[in-house]
Structure 1
């Protein structure tokens, strides 16, 4: 039976500003990428998200980012590798404390937004992510795109790497994500998304925006929680995978 993880970005509310329905998303996913306060989230949101994930039996991961609250972490930050490593370590420590208070711990790291995309090719910032994970004193897996620089650096450091695909995002023929600045970056049709993810889990392929069939070796699928209809989309993807005989289980 094929096995795959479903992850989602959660805990992205901030103060009186609410983002996503995390409790509903937890009914469909197996892993939770919890915002750590630098692109979204605040202490109370982090704590409550950790408690909710623990209650739902969902694995907790750290969704670390550039220090960019105003831009939701979607802007590149030209910081030194040392500054970035310190920022990431700070975020990991904060979420580790919140998870511990909920009787759990963090099991993996997934960079967010601009940081996620930057470390596909940016070697110094990729190394900064690895350095921060190692500085925490554990061997947390790093979730990212196949073939990314951060995965190469992580593997060289003896860390586990986990590849993922995005359920509701279009891909270029080269296997990278279509920029959010493009009008067709996000797929909104649950049937199309589900069919694509079933092919991924059972055949190891994804259909790119131009119809090109791309081979990919993803262990996890991200279903975003902040797009319109996200809860229904996540439920449809899970249902479609299970009907195709795919077992949903956290990689961690």
Structure 2
């Protein structure tokens, strides 16, 4: 019996090393070799990445959720996510973020499609026209009733953080068919005592121990194993691997 337990323990340790630590180590080596890394908040590029047209030239309603790698060493394994909306005929975009200083929920603190710590954003979700117009009231309501908006409530790890906020908003968009990147650390955070819940897409179930460990099974989210915020898994709908640090590798999401 003892021998069997030792064998099982060795197998678990080896699996963790291969599935979690090896991808993180290789990602860290690649990240540190990048010549374009920014050295400080003040030196970073926060300008528009040119993903959105001028609001005045785009009269249709629009919804976007973006995610970009965070700065310095945290960029090895984490993204920051935010929400952008524009009503039909509106002359400007509205951007919503959650940040780790001051009052967490911020409006228009950065360019709608701005780089984050010099890193260009990737589009996670998009709606245009009538579909966007129908979704915007629910999105603004989700921003207004985000439950972790009190001063001091932000926690970079394991959450609630910017990705907890974006997941909260995404869950209010009916049949969005989208999910945050596996590197959106904090997207799986749940308050203490809330262990099982429906996934934000409504297509599966998520078991979570406060964001420290968890398992997600869903048609949109795929299969995700969460360990200390790092996610490994499979995208079943559009075949891809999900690797800690590297994120999603496979067919376009």
Greater fraction helix: 1
Question: Quick check: TM above 0.5?
Answer: no
Name which one, 1 or 2, has greater alpha-carbon Rg: 2
Query: Structure 2 length normalisation: TM-score?
Result: 0.30
Greater length-normalized contact order (CA 8 Å, ≥ 6 residues apart): 1
Greater fraction strand: 2
